[in-house]
Structure 1
Amino acid sequence: MDARTVRRARVAVAATFALHGAVTGSFATRVPWIQEHVGAGPGELGLALLAPAVGSIIAMPMTGRVSHRLGARRTARLLLALWCCAVALPPLAPNIPLLFAVLLVNGVLGGMCDVAMNAQGVVVERHTGRSIMSGLHGMWSVGGLAGGAAGVVAAHVGLDARVHLAVVAAVLLAGALAAGPRLLEVPADRDGVAPPRFALPSRRVLVLGLIGFCAVFGEAAAQDWCAVYLKQVTGSSAGTAAGAYTAFALTMAAGRLCGDAVVRRIGPVAAVRISALLGAAGGVLVVLARTPTPAVAGFMLIGLGVAVVVPLVFTAAGNAGPTPSEGVAGVATISYTSGFLAPSAIGGIAALTGLPASFALVTVLLAAMLPGARLLGRHAATPSVAPRTPAR
């Protein structure tokens, strides 16, 4: 494959990640409007917001079969277009049952699109022969921040969410239609044999998924509880508590955008080991902190520690599975499940023993990534063609 095609595919898959993140960021800012529109209480809204997680977990293992039937590039293009359109549906739901149904469908589309775009990232990375997955996940964060910023403006001026998200859907769909034709076909490694309808992860993918589970658990715990921790444990002001999340998010995004350069220099095994040490050190700081400054520093280290782990795990799984889609689907299902469990687990432990004990668990899980790091070296990105001998 010529270098120009690979470059175009790399730009297209980066745009795909950004578009996926923009959908998520746009929806998140209008949840209060949707809650008021359907007249939902906190419990009802919480149940409705569980629907996307359920849909994702159910659908992600099926992505390999769909990709086999339709072709990986067509599957990614179709799912991305549908995911962009789906952001317009939640504000149209008139009641809680329909909102749950709509969000369930959104979860199915978002989860399968996530697997398809990560499989694309694995293939492009193979052709480039260098790490790019961390930067792709960084583009997802950039898209989420852009969608969220536009949503904040729309909410501030009182724009009806039905109008706002319909416009967002149209703009993002145009971007999806422009990026889709430049994606690559993912090779089928099953010699034409169709994958199972619901693919269970292999042992290697399961271990990789457990590494991702630890990283996503730390990410979700810090994301949802850092502001509460600052306020309740360190006695900080509301502004400082909110700033803890901003600091965490910025270090994680910066770590992902810069992570590929680090991985190229020291390799994925060393990168994950250093990440585990940074994350665990941040967890220790958070557990011991009784004033705001060390706690914020701890959350920043956690953000830096988890930044590159999930992208590297996705790459390794895509190269370890029977096909990239199946490997990514197995890891995504295991990893993202921890993101759904972490907030409630942290709350439950905190209710019994306090928030510092909850983040002691987070620290242990982040440190647990250390012994599994060596597995990533076996499935790192490799060039799809032999490298040229440099001229003397």
Structure 2
Amino acid sequence: MTTLQQAAPPRAARIATWLYFGLNGFAVGMWVVHIPSIEHAAGISHSTLGLLLLALGGAAFAGMQLAGPLVDRLGQRKLVPAAGILLGIALFGPGLATSWWSLGLALIVLGFGNGAIDVGMNAQAVVVERAYPRPIMAAFHAVWSIGGAIAALIGAATLRAGVPTQTTLSTAGVVCIVIALAAGRFLLEATEPPEEEAAEERTKPPAKLVWALGGLAFGLMLAEGVANDWAALQFRDILGTSVSTAAYAYGAFAVAMTIGRFLTDRVAAVVGPAAIVRWGAAIAAVGMTIVIVSPWVALGLVGWAIFGIGLAGGVPQLFTAAGNLDPRAAGALMARVVGLGYVGLLAGPALIGGLAHWMPLNIAFILPLVLCVLTFFGGSVLKSQK
């Protein structure tokens, strides 16, 4: 059984972890909202940008795989702040880029930093959650969403005011660095008592279970990626709405998912993680079915909202399960599960784009629907526990 080295009171560590999740969401949001202006400043085409985004994704995956073992070796109080500082520094790059190659280098650093802090902060969230008598993981992911929303509001305001992208991103980078430095001392470390180490080594988690958790994360995050990139386009192309109205489709999904994540922990304390994953996937499948068949905007918004609520709690439960399989290798195990989930997040929009060449967009959405149904049946790999 793992004990916690109380480097700080759990409440302080919980707030610090909230800050890192918010920092990560804020940094990603600031990058995303400035993509059009960065693309213009670098003088690149949409196709070149697409290739550079693949490089960003690949660097993020590499950062996850490297950060996982380092979390276990160096400790979270060292790696998580370092990753946050790297992410803050990386925000300077895209605003300074003036060519495809300089933007590519900037995005590789940004992706690597994002991947490293993703694994590190989730591993810290697992450690903090162990110090509480109830689930608290989903709320951390909700704070990530709030960080992204704050970035979208600030980014939209600065763009409207004509503030140079370089100035905005550099300022955001400084904010991230300050938060990363200030919050690091409140993080917790997980340690193994010497008398229990031998017993722990005899019970290593089965590889099949790790891959099963990763597969479930892949499916759920693929579905999330589809909503992120295609919800608005589905409204515009299938329901024939204006661009401004189409934006409400993603808004309904994102708001519902954020609210759902704040509520998930209380529900998980009652029904257990397996029920959250399985029945959440079932609810998401119902929402996606509504999206696919609905001929009306109002009903489509309901469908996207239900889809967001259904997907809200599953991924946090999977990350918690991965981090608790073996506390001595929590970072490495989480890197595999988080990494597979991230691959799904990137692959989903691309797969839907390919399918949309052969069939209507709403029919292509059968892919995330099927994955939600499979998750309902596969979610039983998590032992239901109160």
Query: Same fold, TM exceeding 0.5?
Result: yes
The answer to whether structure 1 residue 326 and structure 2 residue 332 are counterparts is: yes
Number of the residue aligned with 2:136: 132
Match of 1:225 among 226, 230, 234: 230
Instruction: Answer whether contact 1:18 1:139 (CA < 8 A) is retained.
Output: yes
Residue 168 (1) aligns with residue 162 (2): no
Give per-residue Cα distances to partners, 1:246-283, cap 9 Å, x unaligned: 11110011111111111112211222222011101011
SS in 2 for 1:263: helix
Tell me by how many angstroms 1:71 deviates.
Answer: 2.2
Q: Deviations over 1:72-93 (max 9, x none)?
A: 2211111112112211111112
For 1:359 and 1:270, the matched residues in 2 are separated by: 24
CA contact 2:218–2:340 (8 Å) conserved in 1: yes
Q: Is the 8 A contact 1:88 1:166 kept in 2?
A: yes
The equivalent of 1:144 in structure 2 is 148
Counterpart pick for 2:36 among 25, 32, 37 = 32
- Residue of structure 2 equivalent to 1:111: 115
Structure 2 contact 289–303 (Cα < 8 Å) conserved: yes
- Asked whether the equivalents of residues 188 and 323 of structure 1 are also in contact (C-alpha less than 8 Å), the reply is no
Q: In the TM superposition, what is the alpha-carbon distance from 1:19 to its structure 2 partner? A: 0.7
User: Quick one: distance in 2 between partners of 1:116 and 1:369?
Assistant: 26
Contact 2:8–2:188 (CA<8 Å) still a contact in 1? no
Give the distance between the partners of 1:47 and 1:119, measured in 2 at CA.
30
Q: 1:338 maps to what in 2?
A: 344
CA drift at 1:17: 0.4
Which residue of structure 1 aligns with residue 45 of structure 2? Answer: 41
Counterpart residue type for residue 345 of structure 2 = G
**Contact 2:72/2:329 (<8 A) preserved:** no
State the Cα deviation string for residues 17-45 of structure 1 (Å, max 9, x = none): 00111111111111122111111111111
The letter of the residue matching 2:106 is V
Q: State the superposition RMSD in angstroms.
A: 2.1
| Residue 85 of structure 2: aligned partner | 81
C-alpha offsets along residues 263-315 of structure 1, whole Å, 9 cap, x if unaligned? Answer: 11221122222201110101111111122222221111111111111111100
1:311 is matched by which residue type in structure 2?
P
Relative to the length of structure 2, the TM-score reads 0.92
Look up the equivalent residue of 1:213 and give its one-letter code. Answer: F
Q: Percent identity?
A: 34
Is 1:235–1:292's contact at 8 Å kept on the other side of the alignment? no
CA distance, structure 2, for counterparts of residue 210 and residue 21 of structure 1: 24
- 1:123-142 deviations in whole A, cap 9, x for unaligned? 11111132111000000001
- 1:6–1:124 CA contact under 8 A, matched in 2: yes
> In the alignment, which residue of structure 1 is the partner of 2:370?
364
Provide the C-alpha distance between the structure 2 equivalents of 1:376 and 1:33, rounded to a whole number of angstroms: 44
Q: Provide the C-alpha distance between the structure 2 equivalents of 1:230 and 1:285, rounded to a whole number of angstroms.
A: 13
Count residues in correspondence.
373
Deviation at 1:205, TM superposition (A): 1.3
Q: Corresponding residue for 1:209?
A: 214
1:60 aligns with 64
Q: How big is the shift at 1:356?
A: 2.3
Q: Does the CA-based 8 Å contact 2:87-2:176 persist in structure 1?
A: no
Shift of 1:12: 0.6
Question: TM-score of the superposition, structure 1-length normalised?
Answer: 0.90
Note the alpha carbon deviations across 1:102-154, whole angstroms, 9 max, x for none: 11121111101100110000011111132111000000001111112111111
CA distance in 2, matches of 1:86, 1:3: 29
Matched letter for residue 341 of structure 1:
A
